[in-house]
Amino acid sequence: MVDQDSSTEDVARRYFDAIAARDVDAAVALWAPGGREYVRGQVDVTAPEGVRAFIGGLMGAMPDMKMEVLETTTEGERCAVQWRITGTFAGPESFNGVAPTGDPVQLEGVDVLSVRDGLVQANEAFPDGLSFAREIGLMPPQGSTAEQRLMGAFNMKTRVTNLPMRDAELVAEGVWVVQGQPGRCNVYLIEDASVGGITMFDAGARTMVRAVASAGAKLGGIKRVVLGHGHTDHRGVAPALGVPVLCHPDEVQDAEGSGGFRYWPKDLVGLPTPQRQIHRAMHRWAWDGGPVKISGTVSEGDEVAGFKVIELPGHAPGQIGLWRESDRLALVSDCFYTLDMWGRSCDPHVPEAIYNYDTEQAKASVRKLAEMEPAAAWPGHARPVTGDVRSKLLKAADA
End-to-end CA separation in angstroms for the chain: 83
Higher pLDDT, 129 or 287: 287
Higher pLDDT, 137 or 175: 175
pLDDT digits (tens, 9 = 90+) for 296-308: 999 999 999 999 9
Class of domain 4-145: alpha beta
Name the segment(s) of the chain with CATH classification 3.10.450.50.
Answer: 4-145
Distance of alpha carbon 246 from alpha carbon 256, whole angstroms: 11
Distance of alpha carbon 12 from alpha carbon 34, whole angstroms: 17
On whether the CB atoms of residues 320 and 334 are closer than 8 A, the answer is no
Provide the whole-model pTM.
0.68
pLDDT at site 157: 66
pLDDT digits (tens, 9 = 90+) for 182-237: 999 999 999 999 999 999 999 999 999 989 999 999 999 999 999 999 999 999 99
Bridge partners (DSSP) listed for residue 43: 39
Bridge partners (DSSP) listed for residue 378: 331
Distance of alpha carbon 343 from alpha carbon 195, whole angstroms: 35
The mean per-residue pLDDT over the stretch 156-179 comes to 77
pLDDT at site 163: 47
Distance of alpha carbon 382 from alpha carbon 190, whole angstroms: 18
pLDDT at site 8: 94
pLDDT digits (tens, 9 = 90+) for 346-381: 999 999 999 999 999 999 999 999 999 999 999 999
Q: Calculate ∠ Cα 343-370-249, nearest 5°.
A: 75
Res 289 pLDDT > 70 = yes
Query: 3-state class of 155 per DSSP?
Result: helix
Name the segment(s) of the chain with CATH classification 3.60.15.10.
Answer: 164-398
pLDDT digits (tens, 9 = 90+) for 82-94: 999 999 999 899 8
Which architecture characterizes domain 164-398 according to CATH? 4-Layer Sandwich (3.60)
pLDDT at site 4: 63
Please list, residue by residue across 260-277, b when 16 or more beta carbons sit within 10 angstroms of its beta carbon and e when fewer do.
bbeebeeebeebeeeebe
pLDDT at site 161: 55
Distance of alpha carbon 323 from alpha carbon 279, whole angstroms: 30
Of these ranges, 54-58, 285-289, 367-371, the one predicted with the greatest mean pLDDT is 367-371
Round the average pLDDT of the chain to a whole number and report it. 92
pLDDT digits (tens, 9 = 90+) for 23-32: 999 999 999 9
Distance of alpha carbon 308 from alpha carbon 302, whole angstroms: 6
Distance of alpha carbon 214 from alpha carbon 189, whole angstroms: 11
Res 159 pLDDT > 80 = no
